[in-house]
Structure 1
Amino acid sequence: MVRGIYIHIPFCHQICNYCDFNKVFFKNQPVDEYIEALGEEMRLWTANHDFHNIETIFLGGGTPTSLSPKQLNKLLSFIQMYIPLEHVTEFTSEANPDELTKEKLEVLYQGGVNRLSLGVQAFQEDLLKKLGRTHSNDHVFHTIDEARRIGFDNISIDLMYGLPGQTMQQWKETLNIAFSLQLPHYSAYSLIVEPKTIFYNLMTKRKLRLPSEDLEADMYDVLMQQMEQHDLHQYEISNFSRRGYSSIHNQIYWDNDEYVGMGAGAHGYINGIRYSNHGPLKKYMKSIADGEKSIYETHIETKQERIEEELFLGLRKTMGVSKKHFYEKFNCTIESVYEKQLQALLQKELIVTEGDYIKLTRNGRFVGNEVFEEFLL
């Protein structure tokens, strides 16, 4: 059963140096035509799929807030027209702090958006400049104040550590400023240098000075300690929230449940099939104009692949993977598939069994990717 819908907005007024998502510069792009194509894609999906039980909608990018208020309103009107909202409890939009004007906030709020995810990353001007970010701290503070006045109470910010030239002092300062905002949700990610990014090109030329692995691990340790001290529960490797404010949409991914992806380059998972849409705007819009869903590639998952994903996605969650749920889903026990791997990881104290759940230990969170690799059959 499909639980969520992801809608991709590929436009940006500024391309960040670390971003490898499908995106294009906003200027001279067919933005209005793209929004019309999104509306048509929604119609094509809802013509033969029942979305009445959808729990979440997520506007991602790119940058959804690169759109004008009029364009945002048009997008939201298509969502209201084609997607049943009666069971949607979480409707998120990603946003850049320097683009989220009062008018855009009002359009989002009136259009049903009830959660904001702000790309903040750091609170030091030199680090923001290295990342290619264009906002200032004042943009962040003003936007959050304005959003609260309009009625948003579910606000999250993204933070990053392991950045080029970042010191522990800067990371602690970023966390202190973040906590002063008293938000219900924080995401914090270590920098991963992806191919086809500016950072990757700099790294290949040995012009990117990154913190050592030990310093990055220490930053993660401080992150977990500080979040706990501020009564923010770590419910996933990189996500922390007050009670009742965990991201429902991201939970869909970690639960390995089904969702629909719409828009250029979007990915989805439905009826046991993973798919991706055409990334280039012209190809995406042409296929939609031809009455097709713009699906570029599909992959029918084998049982083995679904089992693997159940473990390496589910173990990202602090609560871990339910043995009972695993058995109900695959008609076999985790132990019958992964006996050797579980024994080895238990001996290394990287995982632990607590009641019905298998989960990472605190030490296991530091080497999560190494643990996940053990479950690739």
Structure 2
Amino acid sequence: MMKQTVLRGMMGFPCRELPEPPRVWEEALAADTATRRTLYIHIPYCRSRCPFCPFYFGGAGEEETAEYVRLLRLELERWGELAGRFPVNAVYFGGGTPSDLGAESLVSLLDAVRKNYRLAADCEITVEGRIDGFEPEKARRLAAHGANRLSIGIQTFDTELRRRLGRVSDRRAILGRLEALAAINEFSLVIDLLYALPGQTAARWEADLATLLAATRVSGLDLYRLKVSDTLPLAAAIRAGKLPPVPDDETAYAMHLAGVEAMRSAGAVRISPVHFAFEARERNLNNTVSSSKQVCLQFGMKAVGRLAGRRFMQHSEFRSYRELVSAGRKPVKSAGLLPPDFAACGELAGQIYRPMRIFPGRVAAAAPATVRERVETAVRSGAEHWAERGFLTAEPGGGFALTERANFSHREMASDLMERIAEAYS
């Protein structure tokens, strides 16, 4: 029976648990075909916890970190011959905080990827991290070993708001480091800004946008709304009155609109509902490929991936990870079989992300011929429903463009359309 604890959506998807996950991984490799793909490398550790982050795993000492890097390199080398047969479109070092690793550790992992995997000629290789983890000389070394994109979590330039979020670097330090990195001119430099922070006013948000456009030379930008889960330390601080509340939905939407208008006025190219490029070198390729639920080859503790219609999650416990990698086995803790509608839903998700339009016929083309007509009818009917609610606008060619309301929040719409696709298969 298909699990329904995870709903169909832009991020999650239901799957049926399969026994013997390492064996399932090897079967999936054997069934792999040449499709677009990403390679994800997870660095789970952070030296400190940001109170707004839901992905915190914990810290590690120098000895454990060094051993983890050694094992991760071993895992990459072990599976290169089989998993590296087809071109990889994007490589992403995520976390956690990958920039907390030293230059030598990151270089060794970059070299392992380049040596063991067939990278597409235009492969995007991203290293994620904090502003104080990318010293200019370290960034130059990463670029020399293949990294062509740095993704840095800034959140806000406002020093007072940063302190509320547990961030250390102040406005002056951030701007100085960003300028030093931009001057290297060897990679796409991408940052994020969050809106709807505790106590953030429209004026402070507009000041952040003005600083971005007047005082930085970044290649790309993610505009995200801060979402505070009840289980996070930030939520507890707000409940206790230690921090002011976050802005409500309509205020957050107004901030979103202000951000979008600032990007439009600056001539930025909108790549997705939340991502903007200021120059051609910024492509956001990893997220573009991942959004359509293409193959993702996962490496490292806690990493999650997809291959040949299966979903994989790796061990999060260091001892188990070490034992399996040392034995030459893939350290997957769980494996699941994705349902038949997964490909069509992936096509839909990719369209929502980029080009921010829904084309029912193209979604249906990803389904088997036996259900194709029903899928197209289901998507078109659903799109018309969401158009009535103000989330989509019908276009002359038969497609539906996302409105700004949908760009702000489209998860409910995406989930509904995917469930309609699933029903068309039954």
* TM-score normalised over the length of structure 1: 0.92
* Aligned with residue 335 of structure 2, among 298, 307, 326: 298
Matched residues, number: 377
Q: Which deviates the most, 202-211 or 267-276?
A: 202-211
The code of the aligned residue for 1:214 comes to E
Alignment pair present for 1:235 and 2:268 = no
Find the counterpart in structure 2 of residue 113 from structure 1. Answer: 147
Alignment pair present for 1:34 and 2:75 = no
Q: Indicate how the Cα distance of structure 1 residues 117 and 274 shifts in structure 2: closer, same or farther if over 3 A, else same.
A: same
* Aligned with residue 362 of structure 1, among 404, 410, 418: 404
* Aligned with residue 169 of structure 1, among 182, 190, 203: 203
Counterpart secondary structure, 1:74? helix
State the Cα deviation string for residues 178-230 of structure 1 (Å, max 9, x = none).
11213221001101123653124435656551112221111001011111111
The code of the aligned residue for 2:339 comes to T
Q: Which deviates the most, 354-363 or 99-108?
A: 354-363
* Aligned with residue 253 of structure 2, among 193, 200, 217: 217
1:369 CA displacement: 2.4
1:263 CA displacement: 1.1
Q: Which deviates the most, 42-51 or 94-103?
A: 42-51
1:324-343, aligned counterparts within 5 Å?
Answer: 324-331=361-368, 332-333=372-373, 334-343=375-384
State the Cα deviation string for residues 120-169 of structure 1 (Å, max 9, x = none).
11011111111111222233223223223333241111110111111111
The code of the aligned residue for 1:295 comes to V
The code of the aligned residue for 2:133 comes to E
Gap runs ≥5 in structure 2? 1-34, 420-426
Q: Is the 8 A contact 1:57 1:88 kept in 2?
A: no
Q: Which deviates the most, 92-101 or 198-207?
A: 198-207
1:111-190, aligned counterparts within 5 Å?
Answer: 111-180=145-214, 181-190=216-225
* Aligned with residue 265 of structure 1, among 273, 278, 302: 302
Alignment pair present for 1:12 and 2:49 = no
Q: Indicate how the Cα distance of structure 1 residues 146 and 294 shifts in structure 2: closer, same or farther if over 3 A, else same.
A: same
Q: Is the 8 A contact 1:109 1:151 kept in 2?
A: no
The code of the aligned residue for 1:50 comes to G
CA RMSD of aligned residues (A): 2.2
Q: Which deviates the most, 253-262 or 356-365?
A: 356-365
Alignment pair present for 1:98 and 2:140 = no
Counterpart secondary structure, 2:177? helix
Bigger relative CO (Cα 8 Å, ≥ 6 apart): 2
Distance in 2 between residues matched to 1:66 and 1:56, nearest whole Å: 21
Distance in 2 between residues matched to 1:294 and 1:73, nearest whole Å: 23
* Aligned with residue 64 of structure 1, among 91, 98, 108: 98
Find the counterpart in structure 1 of residue 234 from structure 2. Answer: 199
The code of the aligned residue for 2:206 comes to K
The code of the aligned residue for 2:325 comes to I
Find the counterpart in structure 2 of residue 73 from structure 1. Answer: 107
Q: Is the 8 A contact 1:54 1:88 kept in 2?
A: no
Distance in 2 between residues matched to 1:94 and 1:195, nearest whole Å: 26
Structure 1 vs Structure 2: percent identity of aligned residues?
Answer: 23
Q: Is the 8 A contact 1:2 1:259 kept in 2?
A: no
* Aligned with residue 413 of structure 2, among 347, 371, 377: 371
Q: Indicate how the Cα distance of structure 1 residues 52 and 313 shifts in structure 2: closer, same or farther if over 3 A, else same.
A: closer
